[in-house]
Amino acid sequence: MSTLEIGKTPAVEHAPPAPASPRTTLKPFHARDIRPDFPILSTTVHGKPLVYLDNAATTQKQRQVIETLDRYYTQQNANIHRGVYTLSQHATDLYEQARKKIQRFINARDSREIIFTRSTTESVNLVASSYGRSRLGTHDEILITAMEHHSNIVPWQIVCEQTGATLRLIPMDDRGDLLLDEYERLLSPRTKFISLVQLSNSLGTINPVQEMIRVARQKTGAPVLIDGAQWVAHFPLDVQKLDADFYAFSGHKLFGPTGIGVLYGKQSLLDSMPPYQGGGDMISSVTFEKTTYNDLPYKSEAGTPNIAGGIGLGAAIDYVQSIGLERMAAYEHELLEYATTRLSEVRNLRIVGTAREKASVLSFVLEGAHPIHPHDIGTILDGEGVAVRTGHHCCQPVMDRFKIPATARASIAAYNTKEEIDALVDAIAKVIEFLG
C-alpha cells in the first residue's frame, strides 16, 4: 500500500499518489532518465554547472523525497504512537508503513527487526553498546577489517575499554583486498563479535561478506554486523540470504533525508539485548521501583524519532525500486570503468584502492616531482564546479596503511554521467597546470 493511501479520514487532505514511473519500461538505464528528478543537479557553483561526485558522503535528493517531507510538515505533522487524534494516528501509520517498506527492501523476516536510528553510526553504536557491553569480557575478541570507517572502529574500541575485550584486525593487501586466509586464521572460539564493512567508503572495495559470514558460522558462534552504509544505494540487499545478524545503513546515502538510519537485527538477538537508551516509547510501564520495556522495535527506539526522516526514507526506497537497483548497478559499473580508465591516463595520478571487486569510489593522489595535497586538489576542482571529498574520509587507519595523509575521492551515483567524469578529468588537468 502506498503511504498516501493510509489517510482514510476526510479531516486531513493529502496530495494524490505520485504516478507510476514510466522509467520502469526504459532499458537500459541511463542517468539522463533520472537527472531531472534531482533539482540540485541543474544548479551551478562558481558559475559552472555542478558536477556532484561526493555521493559516498551523501547523495542528492529527488523531488519525491523533497515533496514527501514538504507534505509531511505542511499537512501531516504530529507526534506518533501517542495520540488518539486523527493527525497523530495518520503520522503513525505513515511512519510504520515506512518501516514495512524498509523490511521489504532488505527482505527482513519481520518489521520488528527494523530499528530506526539517526545514522549508520548510531546503529553500530547501538549494537556495540547494548550487545557488546552486556556480552563481552576480558578474554573475548572483536574482529573488524583494516578498512573500516571510524564509525565501525571507535564504538568497538569503547567496548574494549569497558569490557577488557580485544580488537583484532583483518588485514588487507596493497590493492585494498582483504586477506581472507588471515581472516580464517583469526577466527577462533575467542571471537565473540565480527563487524565488517561491505563496500569501503575510502577504497571502493567490495568485501565478500556473505562468504565471510558463512565461514564465521563454521568456526565461531559470533554474531556478524555488516556496515552497509555505502552498499544500499548501489546494490540490492537480502539480509536473510546474507545471513547477517545485524545490518546498518543510513537514509541520506540512499537519496533519502539526513538524520535517519536503520539497524536491522535478527529478532532473537534484538529481543535478548538490553535497551540502548531509556525514555519515551521504549517502556511498557514505569514506576520508581521498576520499569518494564516495550516490545520490539520500540524497545530500541527511545524518544521522539525523526518521523519525517523515516517517511522520507520510505519515499526514497519507493524511488529506487521504481528504477531498479540492478539496472542502476550495471550502469554505475560501466561508469566506474570509464572513470578508472580516464583517471589512469592522467600523469602522476595514482588510484588508491584497486581491489578486484570495486564499486562507486575512486580515491586518488597526485604524485610526481611536486605532489599536490588533496585539499588543494579539492579547492581547485570546486572552482570548476566539481565537488569531491578530500581528506581521510573518516578512515585514518586506511591512510596510514597506504602511507598517505589523505586522498581526493570522487564517488559516483546513478545520476552521474560520462560527461561529468570528463569534467572531473579536465578540472584535474587544471590542478596540474596550476600546481604540478
Which residues are tagged catalytic?
394
CB of 339: closest distance to ligand ALA in angstroms? 17
Q: How far is the CB of 368 from ligand ALA (least distance, A)?
A: 26
CB contact burial 401-434 (16+ within 10 A = b; e otherwise): bbebebbbbbbbbbbbbeebbebbbebbeebbee
Give the C-alpha separation, 337 to 28, whole Å.
Answer: 17
- Given candidates 76, 103, 163, 201, which one binds ligand ALA under the rule CB under 6 A? 201
Candidates 41-49, 71-79, 208-216, 387-395: pick the segment binding ligand ALA (CB under 6 A).
Answer: 387-395
- Adjacency order of strands within the sheet including 246-250: 114-117, 261-265, 246-250, 224-227, 191-197, 141-145, 166-170
Smallest gap from Cβ 128 to ligand ALA, in A, equals 17
CB of 393 to ligand ALA, least distance (A): 5
Question: According to the binding rule CB under 6 A, does residue 392 interact with ligand ALA?
Answer: no
Regarding 352 and contact with ligand ALA (CB under 6 A), the answer is no
Residue of 103, 72, 75, 413 whose CA lies nearest to 252: 413
User: ∠347-352-358 over CA atoms, to 5°?
Assistant: 115
203 near ligand ALA, rule: CB under 6 A: no
C-alpha angle 33/384/402, rounded to 5°?
90
Q: Interface mask (CB under 6 A) for ligand ALA, residues 124-163, using x and -?
A: -------------------------x--------------
339 binds ligand ALA (CB under 6 A): no
Task: Read off the C-alpha cell for 77.
Answer: 505533522
Closer Cβ to ligand ALA, 96 or 122, answer by number: 122
> What is the crossing angle of helices 307-323 and 63-71, to 10°?
150
Q: Which residues contact 334 (CB under 8 A, 6 or more apart)?
A: none
Q: Which of 331, 393, 413, 423 binds ligand ALA (CB under 6 A)?
A: 393
**Phi, psi torsion values for 179, nearest 5 degrees:** -90, 95
CA distance linking residue 50 with residue 340, whole number of Å: 21
Residue 57 binds to ligand ALA (criterion: CB under 6 A): yes
394 scored as a contact of ligand ALA (CB under 6 A): yes
In the complex, least distance from residue 150 CB atom to ligand ALA, rounded to whole angstroms: 9
Q: Is 209 in the site for ligand ALA (CB under 6 A)?
A: no
What is the C-alpha separation between 208 and 229, in angstroms, rounded?
16
The nearer residue to ligand ALA, 297 or 378, going by C-beta atoms, is 378
Site residues for ligand ALA per CB under 6 A: 56-57, 149, 201, 389, 393-394
